[in-house]
Each structure stands twice: as C-alpha cells, then as structure tokens.
Amino acid sequence: MTSQRPKARPEPDRDPAAIKAAIRVRAMGIGFDAIGFAPASLAPEAREHLQTFLEQGRHGDMGWMLEKVDRRGDPKTLWPGAESVIVLGQNYGPDGDPLAVLDQPDRGGISVYARHRDYHDIVKKRLKELGRWIAETYQIDIKVFVDTAPVMEKPLAARAGIGWQGKHTNLVSRELGSWLFLGEIFVALPLPPDAAEEDHCGQCQRCLDVCPTAAFPAPYQLDARRCISYLTIEHAGPIPRELRPLIGNRIYGCDDCLSVCPWNKFAQVTPHASLMARADLTAPRLADLAKLDDAAFRALFSGSPVKRLGRDRFIRNVLIAIGNSGQVELLEVVEGLLYDAAPVVRGTAVWALSRLAPATAQARRGGALEGEKDPAVLAEWAVTPML
C-alpha cells in the first residue's frame, strides 16, 4: 500500500478584481441575495444629512445616535484599518399583502421582518462565515457588522450599488424591492468598487402619501418622532395622545411606506423561510396578546426581535390597538390592565378604556385612582372626559 502526499492547496489569485469576483460567488453560495463593494468612506452629503437630522431633534429619544455620531458618519472611525466595505443583503420578501392585517381590527399588525425568527441571528451567522473565509483565504483582517453597530448601512448600500434610498429614506432595490436585511464586512484591502445606484423614484411619492402619521416633512426626510416604527419600538414612554388614533392596529413597526413602493413589482418571496420559520405572528389576536404576563410574552416571542421590546412596552402598543379597534368585547381585559404593575400599561389602559366605553372609564375612575402616584397615569385620568 502506497501513501500519497496531500496535494498542496493552490494559492488564491491575489488580483483585487479576482478576489472581488471570488467573494461574490462565495457570498451568493452561502445564501445572500445581494452583494456590493464600496470604499470605506461616506459622501459628505450623507454625513451632513445625519447632522441635520440630529440638530433638528428628529431622532426623538434615541440618544445613542448623538453619542456615536462621529463614528456613524465615517466608517474609518469604527475601524481605521478598513479599506473597503462589502455590503450584503438578504431578502425577506413576504408571501402576501403585508397590509392586509390593517383591515382586521381585532388583530395586531406586526412588521414583516419581525414575523419570523430574529434576522440578526441568521444574517450575522452568514456574515461571520463569509468573513472567516475571506480572512483565511486571503490572510487579511476583516470586521463584521450587522445593524447593532453605528454603521450608516443604507448610504453604504447605495454607494455599493445594491439600491438607492427612496423618498421614505429606506433602501429600494430594482431586483428585490424593499425587503432587504443589510450587513457589512469591512476588509483591510482595497477592492474595486461597484457603481453607486442612481435614484429611480422619479415623481412617485406613494410612500410619503401613505404614511398614517405624516412622518415625512419632505421627500428624503424622516421625523422619527412621528414614525410608527419608532413610536412602537424605540420610544419607551407613553405614546403622544394625538398620534395614538393614527397608529391603528400596528403593534410592532409599520410597513406602509415599504409596501406601496412600485418597485416591489420585482420583489420576490424570501427563499429563507425555512430558516426563519417560527410561530405565526402575521395577525395575532389582540385579546390573546393583552393577557400576556412577562413569562408568557417571553415564551411567545422567543427567537423574535419583538422580545427585545419587553412585555410592558408591547402591551402599551396592544392597548392602543384595542382603543382603536371598536371591539367592546375587549373591555374586560382592558379593565384588568388598569391595575397592572407597569405605569405605561396602566396609563394606556385608561386611554383605551375611555375610547371604547367612556361611561365604563368613569365608573372605574375612583377604584383605579386609589393609591395611584405615577404622574403619567394621573395625567391620563386628568384628560379623560368627565361625563
């Protein structure tokens, strides 16, 4: 029996164009649906737009944006060794009309991306796999980023040719429509950049017109303080009273501006459904959601991005949907939440009850106010009309 020396592994082609082509093939093989390459820098307009957004206070109470504004505006402040950014996209296109739930007032509307397992888990796993392959194959340093890092993903994605930022400020792809998760790999190697994608919005402004809360002061400008996604996810306290009726039954995020984009005619149903599958969260019953305690909330949303919201903030959103529903059969569960341990829940329950049944709200006023000391809850009772 003879032994054979293992064949030496061939040296990879070190030409930057060849490296770029090999990375593209590998990325698509791993399961990404879009890839683009850009220099590790941002155009001055992107930084100026961010600065204006913050100076006008349109970030609301997302204080972390102010704390990391210098790092967000320049990729090299995140990692000085970065020469190129590889932007990856994963399609999460829905298999039906995302807005159909809005016609079911007894159900809660959850944003498409959150109806499945947490996309961070899947995208980050694939980013790390690709990054590890790049580092090992070409012996270069890399760093992986996905959503939670202060990276201006959408301007980088546009510069890398994946899409453009529409008038609603979200990324739009000519090939995949509006439904893309993004992640980035910074590499310490100059790679040939792709051509930046041009703006293809034209005269269309459907995304601006459909917004329930008028969160777009002008095309390409967003005031997060009026955005339902911000209000239901990022905002921690009571939601402003004047905006509550406009939220409808959206209990986690909002897909309206994404869904109406004409470029969605090229959107495709996600091929990753089997990886992202979990309990169906397309249109859960408000009656069931309102009864969740902390343990039940965590169990229901295990593996979902909704879990990061926390039970109290989520029930706040559910109560707003109930208050907008006209479903008087939900009175009992709302009444019970007048005595919830969380002030934000108690306060929103006051509003929901007064919307559904003003007379019942007045009947419960004395008992609910007994021992109540939270200023926000007291303020809700103070503006509840007396009959």
Q: Which residues are catalytic?
A: 147
Structure tokens at 338: 């007048």
Separation between Cα atoms, residue 380 and residue 239, nearest integer Å: 11
Separation between Cα atoms, residue 221 and residue 284, nearest integer Å: 32
Task: Determine if residue 194 is left, alpha or beta; phi over 0 gives left, psi from -120 to 50 gives alpha, anything else beta.
Answer: beta
Contact call for residues 42 and 69 (beta carbons, < 8 A): no
Q: Rounded to a whole number, what is the largest CA-CA distance in the chain?
A: 99
DSSP state of 101: G
Cβ neighbours for 358, distance < 8 A, ≥ 6 positions apart: 384, 385, 387
Separation between Cα atoms, residue 360 and residue 289, nearest integer Å: 22
Structure tokens at 90: 């994963």
DSSP state of 215: -
